[in-house]
Amino acid sequence: MSEIDIRKLTCLVIRKDGKYLVGAILGTRELRWSDSCYDAWRTREMEKARWAAKITGGTMMLFNPAAGQLREMK
């Protein structure tokens, strides 16, 4: 069995006002937010994260769920 490189689990999430973007509610323009970064929408694609941060007014954050690490993307 091969080992998992936890660095490859690092992703980008969006934070705004202490909450994390989960997604959009279908059929509406309303966004869903959570207090937990573990619930957040995740991507490894910089352009998608940049777009989501721009339209929400949020901040891109680096998140590694396996290590429990979260920090602002600079």
Number of H helices, E strands in the chain: 1, 5
Name which of 30, 32, 38 is nearest 11 in CA terms: 38
Query: What's CA 22's distance to the chain center, in Å?
Result: 8
Say whether pLDDT at 6 is over 90. Answer: no
| Confidence bin at 1 (pLDDT 50/70/90) | low
pLDDT digits (tens, 9 = 90+) for 23-56: 999 999 899 999 999 999 999 999 999 999 999 9
